[in-house]
Amino acid sequence: MTKQGVDPATRTLELLWERIAAPTRGPKPTLTLDEIVGAAIEIADRDGLGDLSMRRVAEALGFTTMSLYRYLPGKEELVELMRDKAVGRPPAHRRDASWRAALQRWARADLEVHLKHPWLLEVEIRRPPFGPNHLAWLDAGLAAIEPLSLDPLVMLNTVLAVDSYVRGAARIRVGTSAEQRRSRATRQELARLYAGIFEQIVTDERYPALAKIVTAGVFDPAEKPIDEFEFGLDRVLDGVAAFVEP
Amino acid sequence: MTKQGVDPATRTLELLWERIAAPTRGPKPTLTLDEIVGAAIEIADRDGLGDLSMRRVAEALGFTTMSLYRYLPGKEELVELMRDKAVGRPPAHRRDASWRAALQRWARADLEVHLKHPWLLEVEIRRPPFGPNHLAWLDAGLAAIEPLSLDPLVMLNTVLAVDSYVRGAARIRVGTSAEQRRSRATRQELARLYAGIFEQIVTDERYPALAKIVTAGVFDPAEKPIDEFEFGLDRVLDGVAAFVEP
DNA sequence: CATGACTGTGTATACTGTACGCAGATTCGT
DNA sequence: ACGAATCTGCGTACAGTATACACAGTCATG
């Protein structure tokens, strides 16, 4: 598993699709790529991507750091494999559901994956989704709106738009829930803290429009009758609906 | 600038709003916080967040690494300051524009910021936007839809939804354009490469819905008549329109 | 003018990813 | 059956990271 002359992206592709021929000579490997990736995901889920190190992964498996490099060219490729394994398979498609219900289900599942693996959003996207699971998600999203029989290019961009929204919204949700864990405060306590900060900082002169929102008590932890994700998702789906049913 | 007992988030807040009283005794500082943050942004813009190190920032300024710690408690706070400085001020509000035109302008400017500073999307969000510039953006977004006189909570969530979409979409755009720079290939060349990979991997049995898209030539670099960002943005804005004008 | 406070620096520590070489194990060709 | 080839896992080494701490020089204030 040397780095050779191939570029990292192509190497990752080969690993994702297990294109490396298993050697016949020499001792059989004790570990598997999947075990390594799984251990790495556990660490990242628990302590974040920042605390993920080759040493920690190796220790979790009871091996030395360098042994991992027999399975992977480097950390970059490990993270890419983690990404595809972590997203897993998309929810099964229900043929009887409406396009809207199906796309909504898909979007919610997408959010859930990101809440389960918050570090997913910290990884820079370098290429289109070429991993088996990522492709399955894309396929599922397309299948959801297939009954609409849209132009293929429009189909793809519709799914991409929904996905963009979900990941953008997930980024906010993930951040706040991570901060909750870190600070060991409840949602209410944090909301109260934030409300206090807003009230201190946001003045009518500096931020007139925002000030109205703040004084209206939007950040007041007492009232919280809206699920931000669902609100936005409904708007996006409305937008799709308006496009296909003018 | 010791770390003291205060938590990092609060310390960041104090730095963002320059709440630290300048000391009277002792030599005057040679550097300013703003210079440090500016140098750091330049490095991150050029080489990415991964190549940003305290040493490189210090070297760029002609100082030693440790001197930076007289101005900042640590790297985490530096990145947070970089975030707020990088987003800058939002575009000025045009009072005569329709809410849709204003919100569209705002969203496009939001995208532009992220294309200019791609690393913005790699930073984990820990708290609501408390930086002066971030608050100004939020204020501008709210101002854009103020004529609609919506419920304050709905207003906030509408802006958040648009912002979520923009950042999600930006993440894709940023990734691909960064890969372009890295691989020193043109957009067309990369598109051709990707199309080839899709054709190899995406089979009708594994990914039936996606296969139809691929064979329809959607990834064909020859035709590219859609701006993905604008398409999705139009859907989102349509969704908002459907909500406010049923 | 001495005191106390502050700035910038040099050193030190505990990490990080990973290149390289080696010992032992396994399989192939003869 | 036996040598050669080849592969695994390990140990060492190196350059890079953030940052804690002590110290020398500098400046404003009592």
Determine the Cα–Cα distance for residues A170 and A9; give it in Å rounded to an integer.
Answer: 26
Please give the structure tokens belonging to residue B53: 């190190």
What's CA B10's distance to the chain center, in Å? 22
Tell whether B167 lies on the interface with A, counting CB pairs under 8 A.
Answer: yes
Query: Per residue in A25-43, pLDDT tens?
Result: 889 999 999 999 999 999 9
Of A167, A226, A239, nearest in space to B240 by CA: A239
Contact map slice: A 98-157 vs B, CB within 8 A: 118, 121-122, 124-128, 130, 132, 135-136, 138-140, 142-143, 146, 152-157
Q: Residue A28: in which H helix or E strand, if any?
A: none
Mark residue A186 as left, alpha or beta (left: phi above 0; alpha: psi -120 to 50; beta: remaining). Answer: beta
* Predicted pLDDT of residue A4: 58
Residue pair A85/A12 in contact (Cβ under 8 Å)? The answer is no
* Predicted pLDDT of residue A81: 98
Determine the Cα–Cα distance for residues B225 and B220; give it in Å rounded to an integer.
Answer: 11
Query: Per residue in A70-124, pLDDT tens?
Result: 999 999 999 999 999 999 999 998 888 999 999 999 999 999 999 999 999 999 9
Please give the structure tokens belonging to residue B120: 């913005």
> Which nucleotide is nearest, taking the CA of residue A54 and each C1'?
C17
- Look at residue A1 and tell me whether its pLDDT is greater than 70: no
**Which of B18, B76, B103, B124 is the best residue to mutate to test the A interface, defined by the most A CB atoms within 10 Å of its own CB?**
B124
Determine the Cα–Cα distance for residues A143 and A150; give it in Å rounded to an integer.
Answer: 12
Of B167, B228, B124, B125, nearest in space to A128 by CA: B228
Instruction: Give percent of chain A above pLDDT 90.
Output: 79
Nucleotides in chain C near protein beta carbons (<7 Å) = 4-11, 15-21, 24-28
Show residues of chain A in contact with B231, CB under 8 Å: 154, 157, 161
User: For B167-187, what is the mean pLDDT?
Assistant: 90
Distance from CA of B57 to the nearest CA of A (A): 21
Please give the structure tokens belonging to residue B126: 């820990």
> How many contacts, defined by CB atoms under 8 Å, are there between A and B?
230
Contact map slice: B 45-64 vs A, CB within 8 A: 48
CA of A29 to C1' of C29 (A): 23
Contact A209 B143 (CB under 8 A): yes
User: For A34-62, what is the mean pLDDT?
Assistant: 97
Show residues of chain B in contact with A202, CB under 8 Å: 135
Determine the Cα–Cα distance for residues A20 and A37; give it in Å rounded to an integer.
Answer: 17
> Which nucleotide is nearest, taking the CA of residue B78 and each C1'?
D18
Determine the Cα–Cα distance for residues A11 and B48; give it in Å rounded to an integer.
Answer: 22
A203/B183: higher pLDDT: A203
* Predicted pLDDT of residue A5: 56
Please give the structure tokens belonging to residue B50: 């991964």
Tell whether A212 lies on the interface with B, counting CB pairs under 8 A.
Answer: yes
Query: Per residue in B42-72, pLDDT tens?
Result: 999 999 999 999 999 999 999 999 999 999 9
Residue pair A37/A82 in contact (Cβ under 8 Å)? The answer is yes
Residue in B with minimal Cα distance to A153: B218
Q: What is the DSSP string of B141-202?
A: HHHHTGGG---HHHHHHHHHHHHHHHHHHHHHHHHHHHHHHHHT--HHHHHHHHHHHHHHH-
Q: Where are the alpha helices (DSSP H) in A2-74?
A: 8-16, 33-47, 54-61
Q: Which of B198, B201, B236 sits opposite A239 (nearest CB)?
A: B236
**Residues near A204 by Cβ (< 8 Å), separated by ≥ 6?**
A211
User: For B132-158, what is the mean pLDDT?
Assistant: 97
Query: Per residue in B199-244, pLDDT tens?
Result: 999 999 999 999 999 999 999 888 777 899 999 999 999 999 999 9
Show residues of chain A in contact with B206, CB under 8 Å: 132, 135-136, 139
Q: Which of A136, A146, A175 sits opposite B125 (nearest CB)?
A: A175
Which B residues 14-73 have CB within 7 Å of strand D? 24-28, 52-56, 65-66, 69
Contact B178 A226 (CB under 8 A): no
Q: What is the DSSP string of chain B?
A: ----SS-HHHHHHHHHTT-SPPPSSSPPPSS-HHHHHHHHHHHHHHH-GGG--HHHHHHHHTS-GGGGGGT-S-HHHHHHHHHHHHH-PPPPPPTTS-HHHHHHHHHHHHHHHHHHSGGGGGSPP-SS--SHHHHHHHHHHHHHTGGG---HHHHHHHHHHHHHHHHHHHHHHHHHHHHHHHHT--HHHHHHHHHHHHHHH--TTT-HHHHHHHHTTTT-TT-----HHHHHHHHHHHHHHHHH--
Q: What domains lie within chain B, and their CATH numbers?
A: 8-86 (1.10.10.60), 88-244 (1.10.357.10)
Burial class (CB in 10 A: 0-12, 13-18, 19+), B24: exposed
Contact B156 A218 (CB under 8 A): yes
Determine the Cα–Cα distance for residues A195 and B132; give it in Å rounded to an integer.
Answer: 16
**Which of B164, B171, B194 is the best residue to mutate to test the A interface, defined by the most A CB atoms within 10 Å of its own CB?**
B164
Show residues of chain A in contact with B167, CB under 8 Å: 168, 171
- Look at residue B4 and tell me whether its pLDDT is greater than 70: no
State the DSSP code for A98: -
Nearest protein residue to nucleotide C24, judged by CA and C1' positions: A27
Please give the structure tokens belonging to residue B141: 């977004």
Residue-averaged pLDDT of chain B: 93
- Look at residue B3 and tell me whether its pLDDT is greater than 70: no
Query: Per residue in A112-168, pLDDT tens?
Result: 999 999 999 999 998 999 999 999 999 999 999 999 999 999 999 999 999 999 999
**Residues near B111 by Cβ (< 8 Å), separated by ≥ 6?**
B166, B169, B170, B173, B229
Instruction: Give percent of chain B above pLDDT 90.
Output: 79
Lowest-confidence region among A1-5, A91-95, B97-101? A1-5
CA of B63 to C1' of D24 (A): 17
- Look at residue A222 and tell me whether its pLDDT is greater than 90: no
Nearest protein residue to nucleotide D25, judged by CA and C1' positions: B27
Tell whether A6 lies on the interface with B, counting CB pairs under 8 A.
Answer: no
CA of B125 to C1' of D21 (A): 32
Distance from CA of B1 to the nearest CA of A (A): 22
